Amino acid sequence: MASILEQEGDVKQEKIVSMFDDIAPTYDTANRVMSMGVDISWRKKACDLAFDYYGKKNIDKIADIACGTGDMMGFWQKQADKAGVTISEFVGVDPSNGMVDVARKKFPDFSYHIAKATEIPLPDASADMLSITYGIRNVVERQEAFHEFNRVLKPGGLVVILEFMKDENKNILKKMRDVYMHKILPYVGGIISKNLEAYTYLPDSIENFVTIQGMQKELENAGFEMLHTQSFSMDISTLLIARKK
Does the annotation list 109 as a binding residue? Answer: no
Does the annotation list 29 as a binding residue? Answer: no
pLDDT for res 1: 39
Q: What is the chain's pLDDT, residue by residue, as a tens digit (245 residues)? A: 345 555 556 778 888 888 888 888 888 887 777 777 888 999 999 999 999 999 999 999 999 999 999 999 999 999 999 999 999 999 999 999 999 999 999 999 999 999 999 999 999 999 999 999 999 999 999 999 999 999 999 999 999 999 988 776 666 766 776 777 777 777 777 888 788 787 787 777 777 789 999 999 999 999 999 999 999 877 788 999 999 99
Q: Which domains does the chain have, with CATH numbers?
A: 4-244 (3.40.50.150)
**Vertex 97 angle, CA 11 and 62, to 5°:** 105
- What confidence tens digit (pLDDT) does each residue in 158-196 have? 999 999 887 766 667 667 767 777 777 777 778 887 887
